[in-house]
């Protein structure tokens, strides 16, 4: 196991940050920033695969399937983070984009890293949410070898669901387990093995692209405006009001009045236009 892990890109010692513990604060932060600067470029090289995954997910989602993230540790938490943002931002049913994480709900707030070694748990967690053939399962594993994620992807494949792998190890075992693989090569981490850093950033960028792209294709965005935003707090109500003012070309008072009656940006704009 030790030699296997040592071969992973994320476990290698980064020659550019060998003296990290000897640097003054500004230089330490600059070193981290220089490494981060290459992450977006690595993700850019994977756009053809991200686009392929997006189109396939959209096809399944349009048939009523769900988008389901599965991961452990940092990767799993990033999946949860992306999923929970979809309803308030795009107004979709919370059950349409969901995430399962090794160790369950508690693992979101407290480290439960041992659970990632249980491949059977990945299968069981997907079964517990009623995985079906029209669903899309996105497996997240920076190392590309997490048994929990591999077990989940194998189960998804058995059911005929779409499988997508997101990893920062292009040669990881997870690549062979998915129909589509997205594998930006970010190189060794600032701190060897700390995949919460560059690998986590790369995964977050990929998830942003997949979920935002899906919502755009599903019609939840007009131009570049989140017209399905749910006005559930003061900030979101103010945003919704500004959207109505912009789209209906009206003043704030009229926009606020229409929103109070409809509770929905699109409906408020339609009501004003029909006056």
Residue 70 lies in a domain: yes
Percent of the chain topping pLDDT 70: 96
Residue 19 lies in a domain: no
Query: pLDDT tens digit string along 257-273?
Result: 999 999 999 999 999 99
Instruction: Give yes or no: residues 178 and 255 share one domain.
Output: no
Instruction: Give yes or no: residues 175 and 68 share one domain.
Output: yes
Instruction: Give yes or no: residues 183 and 79 share one domain.
Output: yes
Instruction: Give yes or no: residues 62 and 152 share one domain.
Output: yes
Instruction: Give yes or no: residues 201 and 88 share one domain.
Output: yes
Residue 111 lies in a domain: yes
Query: pLDDT tens digit string along 153-166?
Result: 999 999 999 999 99
Instruction: Give yes or no: residues 52 and 162 share one domain.
Output: yes
Instruction: Give yes or no: residues 159 and 263 share one domain.
Output: no
Residue 224 lies in a domain: no
DSSP string across the chain: -HHHHHTSGGGS--GGGTTGGGS-HHHHHHHHHHHHHTHHHHHHTTHHHHHHHHHHHHHHHHTT--EEEEE-HHHHHHHHHHHHHHHHHH---TTTEEEEETT-GGGGTS--GGGGG-HHHHHHHHHHTT--TT-EEEEE-SSS--HHHHHHHHHHHHHT-EEEEE-S-TT-HHHHHSSEEE-----S-SSTT-TTTHHHHHHHHHHHHHHHHHHHHTT--BTTB-TT----SHHHHHHHHHHHHHHHT--HHHHHHHHHHHSSHHHHHHHHHT-
Residue 30 lies in a domain: no
Residue 124 lies in a domain: yes
Instruction: Give yes or no: residues 57 and 126 share one domain.
Output: yes
10 confidence band (pLDDT: 50, 70, 90): confident
Instruction: Give yes or no: residues 202 and 254 share one domain.
Output: no
Query: pLDDT tens digit string along 173-224?
Result: 999 999 999 999 999 999 998 999 999 999 999 999 999 999 999 999 999 9
Catalytic positions, please? 85, 116
Instruction: Give yes or no: residues 83 and 213 share one domain.
Output: yes
- Structural domain count of the chain: 2
**CATH number of the CATH domain containing 205:** 3.40.50.10490
Instruction: Give yes or no: residues 209 and 169 share one domain.
Output: yes
Q: What is the model's pLDDT at position 231? A: 86
Instruction: Give yes or no: residues 51 and 167 share one domain.
Output: yes
Query: pLDDT tens digit string along 28-83?
Result: 999 999 999 999 999 999 999 999 999 999 999 999 999 999 999 999 999 999 99
Which residue range is the domain that position 86 belongs to?
39-217
Residue 57 lies in a domain: yes
């Amino acid at each position: 196991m030790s030699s296997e892990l040592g071969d992973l890109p994320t476990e290698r010692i980064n020659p550019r940050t060998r003296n990290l513990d000897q640097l003054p604060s500004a230089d330490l932060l600059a070193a981290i920033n220089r490494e981060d600067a290459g992450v977006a470029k690595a993700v850019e090289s994977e756009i053809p695969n991200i686009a392929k995954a997006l189109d396939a997910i959209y096809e399944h989602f349009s048939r009523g399937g769900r988008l389901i993230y599965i991961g452990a540790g940092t990767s799993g938490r990033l999946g949860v983070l992306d999923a929970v943002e979809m309803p308030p931002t795009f107004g979709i049913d919370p059950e349409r984009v969901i995430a399962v994480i090794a160790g369950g709900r508690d693992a979101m707030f407290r480290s439960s890293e041992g659970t990632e070694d249980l491949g059977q748990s990945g299968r069981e967690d997907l079964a517990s949410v009623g995985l079906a053939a029209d669903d899309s399962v996105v497996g997240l594993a920076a190392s590309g070898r997490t048994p929990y994620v591999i077990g989940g992807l194998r189960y998804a494949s058995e059911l005929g669901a779409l499988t997508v792998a997101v990893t920062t190890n292009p040669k990881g075992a997870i690549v062979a387990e998915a129909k589509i693989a997205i594998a930006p090569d970010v190189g060794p981490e600032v701190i060897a093995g700390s995949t919460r850093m560059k690998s986590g950033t790369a995964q977050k960028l990929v998830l942003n692209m997949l979920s935002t792209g899906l919502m755009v294709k599903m019609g939840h965005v007009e131009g570049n405006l989140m017209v399905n935003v749910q006005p559930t707090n003061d900030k979101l109500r103010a945003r919704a009001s500004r959207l109505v003012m912009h789209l209906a070309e009206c003043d704030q008072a009229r926009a606020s009045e229409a929103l109070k009656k409809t509770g929905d940006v699109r409906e408020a704009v339609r009501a004003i236009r029909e006056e």
